[in-house]
Chain A
Amino acid sequence: MSKTVMEHADASEVFNRDEPYVNWHDETLWFVRQKRDKSSKQLPEWEQLREAASGIKHYVLSHLDELLISFEQKANENGVQVHWAANAAEHNEIVLGLLKKHKIDKMVKSKSMLTEECHMNEFLQKNGIEVIDTDLGERIVQLRNEPPSHIVLPAIHLKKKDIGDLFHEHLGTDAGATDPQYLTEAARQHLRDKFLTRRAALTGVNFAVAETGGFVVSTNEGNADMGAHLADIHIACMGFEKIIPKQEHLGVFLRLLARSATGQPITTYSSHFKKPREGQEMHIVIVDNGRSTQLGRKDFRNSLKCIRCGACMNTCPVYRRSGGHSYHNAVAGPIGSILAPNLDMTKNADLPFASTLCGSCSNVCPVKIDIHDQLYKWRQVLAKEGHVHKSKEIGIRAMSTVLAAPRFYQWSGRLGRTVMRAMPFMVNNALNPWYKQRDMPEPPKESFRDWYVRNRKN
């Protein structure tokens, strides 16, 4: 869908043109972050839960092959057909093949970031299959012909007026109507018709249990279940890192997931699929698409622990002020920025730089991924492999020259402070990126070094 891909910094600049809008976006996501804080503080064992979740996921990474084989075997015994896809193209072909076999050309889909990653909708549409996204937020962005801007809150970048106009055009709601209750009801009616008439349903997978061959899908709306229980064929697609060893581990992850995502103690529906219902076909597609490569990158493999709660996005000062689309990747925000370079270093070299490295993402991550450390490490890998802009390279080289020569550093500091005091227009202008959307600070009278030298004498 994205025709020309803008780099994160450029896209953020566009996003930041409307200041009240950016402030609203920022505050809305911060509110979600605060709900997460409140909810997590209800549990005295919260930190131990995070520790346990991280530990279980670490075990998973070190036993992935065995766990996947066990999962496959159990799923087969349960009457579920398991498919393996090495990459996005193979995943898309498998789904298309299943639909063709059943002569189905219309499908409902609940949220699956994996199918976004694989650009499955576009592929199926090109092959004559209509895909209807049934999560309200996803349906909204689908009607707008754009990707979700957040993995949990797909339409978080839109105001209700945008959605009112969109529904007026596509669903025939009253012109100018913006009441969320009214708009949601219209979507309910529109999508109920789809649920009742589609013979195939595709869902994502939140957790797949190696011990039982079952998998869990979490939603608040009930759309995954509405689709799957009415369809003749249910296709569930998962990245292979969704596997967990035992059913009892669901206790840990379901306690963390919704609290981290939205502050709810659990999502409305946590649906446990194990066997198809009578007369139904159930398929699971297990996808690699670069994950086994990431597994081999020692510094970055922890990113595969992610349970897609979105907490790192809600807390990220850069995400909140640049919006999900600026990241030009299915998964945006801090976690997306450490997953994307693995998929394509050239295309995604800008993303690890879309961070202040403040570390807030790592602090809220329910599976304790060292997100900000990985962002920092990706920068080094990308620079070494020549994926960083010349301009950035020149800047960094100049910086290292200055920092390597103490006298020169002292002199340039003094010069900078003098210039800022005497000729503020030299820094307060459009050529200085630090001046965008913010005022430059008051220059200090002296450097810390000067102060220290002066005071040590006393």
Chain B
Amino acid sequence: MSSRDRILSQIRQNKPEEVALPAIATFASNFENTEDKFREMLAAIYTEVIVVKNPEELAAKAEELYTGVVNRATTIPALSAWADFSLNVSDPHELETVEIAIVQAEFGVAENGAVWISDQYLPHRVLPFITQNLAFVIPRNALVDNMHEAYVRLQDTLGWGCFIAGPSKTADIEQSLVIGAHGARSMVIFLLEGE
């Protein structure tokens, strides 16, 4: 018998009597103001939230925030003039030198400040991790209250996707919080109006 069959048969022998799934497994958060909660949670994890009216204002803000930075990459057409690093590479290792990536993402979650990003919006999965600094652009109205709502929205998580909440961090040295462990050292979220 293969290990697979042996494991499964032992499980069948030893598993407890059948029980049903709990009737209630989702809860509503009902925040007074979803965007305020989102901002509040992100402020606590060192992430700036900037509202921009249109792609032109986004481009101007990007210029202002990252003046003098080289190796700028983006997935957003309106920022193509701002970028100086092409994501059109075949080997993701070539992204090693990216300093800042401004990336389109799908939606945000107010209760924890997480933003959902997936294959749909990324030419390379490693981009949001390997870049030194990261910024997401999401539509201002694309915010949900909590994770239950998030999964209602996410019927399909695609080949790969990730909730990212703030910059990379660690507290493994005497519980002292340090921002910038292996992933991005800073995070900005642009809320784009009118989409």
Contact = CB atoms under 8 A, between A and B. Distances in A.
B53 interface: no
A265 B112 contact: yes
B169 interface: yes
A154 B12 CA distance: 35
Given A266-B165, A272-B157, A274-B158, A226 B182 contact: yes
Contact of B160 (A49, A61, A277): A277
Interface in B84-131: 92-93, 96, 109, 111-114, 118, 124-126, 129-130
B163 A226 contact: no
Interface in B44-67: 45
Given A56-B22, A226-B130, A296-B14, A196 B93 contact: yes
Interface in B8-37: 8, 10-22, 24-27
Residue from B19, B126, B174, B180 with most neighbouring chain A CB atoms (10 Å) = B174
Nearest to B156: A212
A196 B182 contact: no
A125 interface: no
Among B3, B7, B24, B183: residue with most chain A CB under 10 A:
B7
A69 interface: yes
Contact of B162 (A78, A136, A271, A276): A271
A262 to B, nearest CB: 8
Contacts of B7: 84, 86, 240, 286, 288, 292
B178 interface: yes
Contacts of B124: 229
A147 interface: no
B160 A273 contact: yes
Interface in A29-43: 31-32
B41 interface: yes
A272 B16 contact: no
Contacts of B111: 255, 265
Nearest to B95: A230
Contact of A274 (B24, B151, B160): B160
A135 interface: yes
Nearest to A91: B3
B182 A250 contact: no
Given A222-B181, A255-B147, A268 B164 contact: yes
A240 B6 CA distance: 13
Nearest to A153: B172
B20 A59 contact: yes
B91 to A, nearest CB: 9
B177 to A, nearest CB: 8
B165 A268 contact: yes
B92 A136 contact: no
A292 B10 contact: yes
Interface residues of B, number: 72
A272 to B, nearest CB: 4
A163 B175 CA distance: 13
A113 interface: no
A356 interface: no
Contacts of B140: none
Contacts of A222: 129, 168, 181-184
Contacts of B14: 292-293, 295-296
B125 A225 contact: yes
Interface string B125-153: 11001100000000000000011101110
B182 A195 contact: yes
A268 B147 contact: no
Given A64-B11, A84-B2, A225-B126, A254 B147 contact: yes
A55 B93 contact: no
A416 interface: no
A267 B18 CA distance: 33
Contacts of A158: 174
**Most central of B16, B118, B184 by chain A CB within 10 Å:** B16
Contacts of A324: none
Contacts of A250: 147, 151
A29 B141 CA distance: 40
B24 A48 contact: yes
Contacts of B80: none
A97 interface: no
B169 A220 contact: yes
Interface string A161-196: 001000000000000000011011100100110011
Contacts of A69: 8
A82 to B, nearest CB: 9
Contact of A28 (B6, B154, B172, B175): B175
A63 B162 CA distance: 28
Interface of B: 2-4, 6-8, 10-22, 24-27, 41, 45, 92-93, 96, 109, 111-114, 118, 124-126, 129-130, 146-148, 150-152, 154, 157-176, 178, 180-184
13 contacts: A52-B24, A84-B2, A180-B176, A184-B178, A188-B180, A223-B181, A226-B183, A230-B130, A247-B151, A250-B147, A262-B171, A272-B160, A295-B10
Q: Which 8 A-B pairs have the closest CB atoms?
A: A222-B183, A296-B14, A55-B22, A221-B181, A137-B172, A275-B159, A265-B112, A229-B126
Given A181-B176, A268-B165, 13 more contacts: A52-B22, A55-B19, A59-B19, A62-B16, A86-B7, A184-B172, A225-B125, A251-B147, A265-B112, A275-B159, A292-B11, A296-B13, A296-B14
